[in-house]
Amino acid sequence: MRGIFIVFEGIDGCGKSTQLSALRERLRSLGVEPLVIREPGGTPVGEQIREILLERPLEMEPLTELLLYEASRSELTRKILRPALEAGHVVLADRFAMASLAYQGYGRGLDLTLVQQCNTIATEGIEPSMTIILDIPVAVAFARKKKAFDRLERAPSEFHERVRQGYRELAQKTPRSILLDGTRPAAELAEQIWKAVRPFFQF
């Protein structure tokens, strides 16, 4: 892959979307127009799956939930992500495969090996150049929320605590990942992120 693939991860409300936008604007100011993708979603099929997973009040089995996420991820990988990276583009992602390990693995209790196997199939083995994980207490994250909670966000706080702990453990196990304190001021975080990803660019 000739492109650069940077993924933002963390529990809902951690500030990843804000920091992704900050990095996108910095890159634009330097003459780089990144492609921004999100999970689930990013394709017509993926957006339909997103609605099922997040917007509809449906009860579903953890394995069903995982497979829906993987279906969206597979579509996104084959239609958008792989072609962009092969063409040498910069791709910024609001979540990717690590999210399934955190949410469906640590959060829902699915076997982590099973989740990783599904991730590998869906992503065709594509891995991020860098994964930026923003860590923040669950109570602080949800106090930041200004819109209605989606299906996943309505899960009990114990679920989100497991997800947070999962991200913290995954940060220790995953090469090319960085765990940052999401409670720090946004501008300070943006500078930390830029310092981490700048080596990928020729500026």
Q: What is the pLDDT of residues 83-142, one digit of tens each?
A: 999 999 999 999 999 999 999 999 999 999 999 999 999 999 999 999 999 999 999 998
Say if residue 13's pLDDT is above 70: yes
Residue 39, SS3 per DSSP = coil
Total tally of structural domains belonging to the chain: 1
Residue 177 lies in a domain: yes
Say if residue 203's pLDDT is above 90: no
Say if residue 1's pLDDT is above 80: no
The kind and range of the H/E element at 138 are: helix 138-143
Please provide the average confidence, as pLDDT, over all residues in the chain. Answer: 96
Residue 39 lies in a domain: yes
Question: Domain range spanning residue 81?
Answer: 4-198
Task: Give the pLDDT band (50/70/90) at residue 150.
Answer: confident
Say if residue 52's pLDDT is above 90: yes
Mean pLDDT of 53-77: 96
Residue 111 lies in a domain: yes
The kind and range of the H/E element at 115 are: helix 112-123
What is the domain-level CATH number for residue 96? 3.40.50.300
Residue 155 lies in a domain: yes
Rounded Cα gap, residues 192 and 131, in angstroms: 13
Residue 203 lies in a domain: no
Residue 70 lies in a domain: yes
Q: Tens digit of pLDDT for each residue in 61-70? A: 999 999 999 9
Task: Give the pLDDT band (50/70/90) at residue 148.
Answer: low
CA 127-129-132 angle, to 5 degrees, is 100
Residue 106 lies in a domain: yes
CA 45-17-173 angle, to 5 degrees, is 90
The kind and range of the H/E element at 4 are: strand 4-9
Residue 128 lies in a domain: yes
